[in-house]
Amino acid sequence: MQVNGNLGSTPNYSGAYNCPASYLAPMKQAFGVPDEVYEGEVLDFSWLGGISDYDFYQPGRFWEVLGKQKGEQEALVHNVASHVVAADEHIRDRVYAYFSKANKVIGELIKKEVDATLNSSGKSSPRL
């Protein structure tokens, strides 16, 4: 995440709107030469296959590894929830869904902690 104003008021989660990010300033080439030169055919991958259950396999196993050491899963849930709580509701719902695909428990625990934070603040969203 850039915090130095590079993108102005553009949200740092612009891809969450299901549309490509658009920037006001045109891209400039550094020093008038391309950054990379390729030989042979180059194809744009662009996640053509979409997101599948396989994309959540490794994060699910990571969750299991965190469970081997006391407090690690709780720390992950707290770290994610403490940031997600400030997002718009539709973004929070997407976060719960994605984490639930890795392991149903993660999404539930993150939602539970976010809801507890929102309830204790008496707001629907703590955005400033």
Model confidence pLDDT, tens digit, residues 37-83:
788 887 766 656 677 888 899 999 999 999 999 999 999 999 999 99
Other CB atoms within 10 Å distance of the CB of residue 88: 13
Residue 43: the pLDDT is 72
Q: Is residue 9 part of a domain?
A: no
Q: Is residue 3 part of a domain?
A: no
Give pTM, 2 decimals: 0.62
For 75-92, the pLDDT digits (tens) are 999 999 999 999 999 999
Mean pLDDT over each residue of the chain, to the nearest integer:
80
Q: Is residue 50 part of a domain?
A: yes
Amino acid type, 99? F
Instruction: Tally the domains of the chain.
Output: 1
Q: Is residue 80 part of a domain?
A: yes
Q: Is residue 4 part of a domain?
A: no
Beta-carbon contacts of residue 72 (< 8 Å; ≥ 6 apart) = 66
| Residue that the structure tokens 């999404």 belong to | 107
Domain of residue 109 covers 14-121
Q: Is residue 23 part of a domain?
A: yes
